[in-house]
């Protein structure tokens, strides 16, 4: 393994024995080997540690770090001092990287972006079913290169794991996740984009497949906690911007979000649905899920490996990204 790999993949996991091997294999199977994989085991009580250690024993690019069950935010924070790569991406244990996305040309393209001050890349994403057979392509709302400290930092859809980061943006600004629960990932990605010199939004490129996991953490959050934490963290984010001297549209929006979150907390009254209402909710969710599944396309159509046509799609995507960078 090189002394300083170009790409670091951070994979936090807690009791992920069902999917974690798929996630690890999707990283190690990428064409360009210039990477490291940090598996952050958050006190798992299942077979996750043994699975991760088995990969570590076979491939020196894998490092497994274990600690007590801190929670998702602190677990990721524990990994930041271990990052050695120039480029950083996050991968949840139930997701996978798109096969064939990380090539030598991908690496050169990302380095070109960084050299031009484009320090975050916000692409589209694939949201797949649990078996990774069909998917939806979910697009981002912007196209092009934008200054990081502008309004584009307010337009970040989806999970933070779908973004590619220049690692030293996080370190030089000491950006961290909240150690509380639940953790608001939206605040982390906003800070990263805001602190970047420039950000590139593109729908020509995707690198991660989000798996539809019915047991994933965000589907079992306590609503009472969410309302309280939103108010606390948006108040902290507004103060963070004041301390930085932020003005204009971004500051106005941060103040508005903080006020709204506090108003929601002040007005919040816990309401537990009746058994009949709960049954209606479950049926509606199942109906929505069936409709969502029916609109899927075959996942393999969006891969960058397996045929010359698919590899040509990656070439075209990278050329589009380079053109956007050159015109910025």
Q: Per-10-residue mean pLDDT for the chain, 328 residues long?
A: 85 97 98 98 97 98 96 94 97 96 97 97 94 94 93 77 92 92 84 96 94 64 83 95 96 96 92 87 90 93 93 96 90
What's the pLDDT score for residue 218? 47
- Helix, strand, coil percentages in the chain from 3-state DSSP, rounded to 5: 50, 20, 35
Using the Cα atoms of residue 270, residue 238, residue 79 and residue 318 in order, give the sign of their dihedral. Answer: positive
What's the pLDDT score for residue 60? 97
Contact 71, 42 (CB under 8 A): yes
What's the pLDDT score for residue 321? 96
What's the pLDDT score for residue 215? 63
β-strand 208-211 against 125-128: which pairing, if any? parallel
Tokens 């979000």 correspond to 257
**Token pair recorded at residue 145:** 């290169």
CA–CA distances in Å: residue 288 to residues 124, 221, 272, 273? 22, 20, 22, 19
What's the pLDDT score for residue 28? 98
**Burial class of residue 309 in the structure, from the number of CB atoms within 10 Å of its CB (0-12 exposed, 13-18 middle, 19+ buried):** exposed
What's the pLDDT score for residue 225? 86
Question: In whole angstroms, how large is the CA radius of gyration of the chain?
Answer: 20
């Amino acid at each position: 393994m090189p002394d300083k790999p170009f790409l670091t993949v951070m994979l936090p996991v807690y009791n992920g024995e069902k999917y974690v091997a798929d996630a690890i294999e999707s990283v190690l199977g990428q064409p360009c080997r210039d990477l490291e994989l940090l598996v952050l085991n958050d006190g798992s009580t299942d077979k996750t540690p043994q699975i991760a250690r088995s990969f570590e024993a076979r491939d020196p690019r894998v490092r497994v770090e274990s600690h007590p069950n801190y929670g998702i935010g602190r677990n990721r924070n524990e990994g930041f001092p271990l990052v050695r790569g120039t480029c950083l991406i996050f991968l949840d244990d139930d997701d996978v990287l798109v096969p064939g996305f990380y090539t030598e040309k991908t690496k050169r393209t990302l380095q070109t972006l960084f050299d031009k001050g484009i320090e975050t890349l916000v692409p589209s994403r694939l949201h797949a079913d649990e078996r990774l057979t069909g998917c939806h392509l979910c697009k981002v709302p912007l196209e092009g290169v934008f200054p990081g400290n502008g309004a584009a930092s307010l337009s970040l859809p989806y999970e933070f794991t779908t973004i590619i980061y220049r690692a030293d943006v996080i370190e030089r600004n000491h950006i961290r996740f909240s150690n509380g629960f639940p953790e608001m990932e939206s605040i982390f990605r906003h800070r990263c984009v805001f602190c970047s010199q420039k950000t590139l939004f593109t729908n020509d490129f995707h690198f991660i497949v989000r798996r539809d996991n019915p047991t994933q953490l965000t589907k079992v959050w306590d609503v009472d906690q969410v309302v309280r934490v939103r108010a606390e963290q948006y108040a902290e984010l507004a103060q963070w911007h004041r301390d930085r001297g932020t003005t204009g549209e971004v500051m106005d929006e941060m103040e508005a979000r903080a006020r709204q979150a506090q108003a929601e907390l002040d007005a919040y009254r816990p309401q537990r649905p009746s058994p009949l209402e709960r049954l209606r909710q479950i049926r509606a969710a199942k109906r929505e899920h069936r409709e969502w599944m029916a609109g899927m396309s075959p996942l393999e159509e969006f891969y960058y490996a397996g045929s010359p046509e698919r590899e040509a799609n990656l070439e075209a995507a990278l050329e589009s990204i380079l053109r956007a960078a050159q015109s910025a």
